[in-house]
Amino acid sequence: MAEWFTEQLAIVPGMRAQIEVTKKLASERSQFQKLEVYETTSLGRMLVLDDVIQCTEFDEQSYHEMICQVPLFAHPNPQKVLIIGGGDGGSVRECLKHKSVQEVHLCEIDKRVVDLCLEHIPSMAGKVTDPRVHCHYEDGAAWAKNHPDTYDIIIVDSSDPIGPAEVLFQFPFYESCRNALKSDGILATQAENFLLHAKIIKELLSFGKKLFPISRYYYTQVPTYPGGMIGFTFFSRKHAHDELVDKRFAESGIKAEEFRFWSVDFHKKAFTLPGATMRDFYS
């Protein structure tokens, strides 16, 4: 008999989310957090950390494709990628679609997230075992700080700025990421909903303006997240978000059918926000 999983949205007071579930596939508490995997009635399998929905098979592609493909197609030759967080494996899968990518370093503090997703959600985590992937079960902020001038792309696939992920929304971390990038590197980070979390986003963009020549915000639609969407920061040391993206996609050898959400057109349009929001973020 189906039951309802309820998330009390700590980052959006006064709201909650409910998903109908049929079976709890896994439940444990690691050194860092509570982990659960559910089978849902209509959204496929769902990962929950500390009672917060992280992703479902139904709409995870619109998140993972956009956090990864935008920086990857903005860069002329991404070879070495660092993913901070991202233990569900979806971002790893997206990076490996690019033939130019020679190494992906997954820096996830909680190994049990990777283990559970490999076991229960292989549609996301299945590529983590690829020989190009190197898993490091360490603190992502410390890893970035200790690897200067190393990466073409850094993707911060984090949870909300509560608990262990809070440090990933602070200036010293962004400075470490800037220093960990090569001279033409790109940083993309999970950056919340522009309608619900404008204060957080403005602060992140203020970090970017101090550290990068190019500092922008873009978004995607994810029905199972608060407000039905989520956004990302795009910080670049050299390359604009839409610079030659048409040409790079055409030359990549990746078929359009490999993406359920990302496209060249949406890549460009995702940076267009409502007028008042644009003025608020970029004034």
Q: How many other C-beta atoms can be found within 10 angstroms of the C-beta atom of residue 168? A: 23
Dist CA 13 CA 91 (whole Å): 29
Give the 3-state secondary structure of residue 111.
Answer: helix
**What is the CATH number that goes with domain 3-56?**
2.30.140.10
Of 91, 95, 132, give the one whose Cα is nearest residue 114.
Answer: 91
- Both structure tokens of 221: 């639609």
List, for the chain, all residue ranges whose pLDDT scores fall below the cut of 50.
Answer: none
User: What is the pairing mode between strands 34-40 and 16-29?
Assistant: antiparallel
Q: Whole-model pTM?
A: 0.96
User: What is the pairing mode between strands 45-49 and 34-40?
Assistant: antiparallel
- Both structure tokens of 171: 């200036």
Dist CA 170 CA 154 (whole Å): 16
> Any idea which residues carry the catalytic annotation?
157
Domain assignments of the chain as residue spans, ordered by start = 3-56, 60-282
Architecture of domain 60-282: 3-Layer(aba) Sandwich (3.40)
